[in-house]
Structure 1
Amino acid sequence: MNSMKTNIILITHQKGGVGKSTLTFNLALNLADNAKVAIIDFDAQGSLMQLQSTRTTMDILESPADLDSISSLGYDFIFIDTPPYLSSSLPQLISVADLIVVPTKAGILDLMAINSTILMIEERRRLENTLIVLSMVKPNTTLTLDVLIELNKLNVKVANTHISDLVSYTRSILCAGLGKDQKAKNQIDDLTREILSELLQL
């Protein structure tokens, strides 16, 4: 990872309800104290854009007309939050991203839905730049292990860190952070380190 280069992290999944915006927000916030960080909100609902006036440590931007210009915006890290079914722009975003993070819940329907996203990434020859993250994981369930076994068949890296289904994490956007929940903070810290490690290897 070159400190003079903008690192573009795309958070995407063609299924809704897997925690893309919440993950984007927390990862960006975790780096914002030590780097120049921005989020680009491609969601038509503008969920993260509504926080623009409340964030002082990072910028939240609207989607630019020229996607190729993203790397020249002058940030150390740019996180791109995408809605489901962003079919027209997603292939190009996959191409410009340094790292593609695919959050998914540990559920059967979510596992089935991830194939369309992985196929699109594979078509752009970007599987080596992809990291699957299990999010909203419920504790003490064998389903998580079953899902991990199936995910490993996709030949895509799966993050060692799983994001648990914690109330503080779910509410973190409204509360402007994870508050005093040390377990949630540790998970985001660990996942941030994994993402930085992936960027270093690219």
Structure 2
Amino acid sequence: MTKIILITHQKGGVGKSTLTFNLAQNVSKNAKVAVLDFDFQGSLSQLSDMVTDFEIISFKGEINEIEQLDYDFIFIDTPPYLSSHLPCLIELADLIIVPTKAGVLDLLAIKSTLELIEEQQKTLQTLVVFNMIKASTTLTLEILIGLAEYHVKVANTHISDLVSFTRSVLVKGVKNDKNAQKQIDNLTKEILTELI
């Protein structure tokens, strides 16, 4: 049965597309994977000719057709705003990943995304991932307390702000950087555990 993983956040610049790419690349080692690019910028769709381990589809069909696609895992990359498709995509998803940076402004920006997820009664299927974390950054208690009101799980794995992640879309992943690969491997394990 196909597992649908939605990567969403209303704020741009939190690394949704890069995280989507690296998770899809990692999972595709052992499964048939597609990425559906719902972002009008088409960042990932522009890579479709370069990617061989999984498919990138600029999705133009009806949302109810997604479940009929023949893949083990479908990752959905969304635009950096709350599109009209988002409630239906949230309802469809087996897991919702909300990448965020570790800052007060990022916590404020995540609010409307988490409220929409809560309205769809999908908080139990939501995983917040601290992404693009600078080495000197510490997660403050205020940020974790702010997230606690939404009753969403926060991933144990934090993804660092490494150059390897930025370059990953050109070199088909982060396999040449052991630290980056370990982070993606650990996050992949957490995601697969959530999907069981």
1:56 aligns with one of 35, 48, 52: 52
Q: Distance in 1 between matches of 2:139 and 2:68?
A: 42
TM-score under structure 1 normalisation?
A: 0.93
TM-score computed with the length of structure 2 as normaliser: 0.95
1:30 corresponds to which of 26, 31, 50: 26
Post-superposition offset of 1:187: 0.3
One-letter amino acid matched to 1:8: I
- The question of whether the paired residues in 2 share the 8 Å contact of 1:64 and 1:70 is answered with no
Q: What residue number does 2:9 align with?
A: 13
Taking a change above 3 Å as real, the CA distance of residues 86 and 67 of structure 1, as seen in their structure-2 partners, is same
Farther off after superposition, 139-148 or 29-38: 139-148
CA contact (8 A) 2:133 2:160 kept: yes
| Distance change >3 Å, CA 170–CA 25, structure 1 → 2 | same
- The 8 Å contact of residues 137 and 144 in structure 1, kept in 2 or not, is answered as no
The equivalences for 1:1-202 within 5 A come to 5-144=1-140, 146-200=142-196
Please, what is the CA RMSD of the aligned residues? 1.3
In structure 1, C-alpha distance between the alignment counterparts of 2:140 and 2:169, rounded to whole Å:
25
Cα contact 2:24–2:75 (8 A) shared by 1: yes
Q: Secondary structure at the match of 1:173?
A: helix
Gaps of 5+ in 2: none
- Structure 1: gaps spanning 5 or more residues: none
Bigger CA drift: 109-118 or 164-173? 164-173
Counterpart Cα distance in 2 of 1:142 and 1:184: 19
Structure 1 residues 169-178 or 111-120, which shifts more? 169-178
Deviating more after overlay: 102-111 vs 152-161: 152-161
Matched length: 196
In structure 1, give the amino acid aligned to 2:163: V
Structure 1's consecutive aligned runs of 4 or more residues displaced over 4 angstroms after TM superposition are 143-146
In 2, Cα distance between the equivalents of 1:186 and 1:150?
A: 28
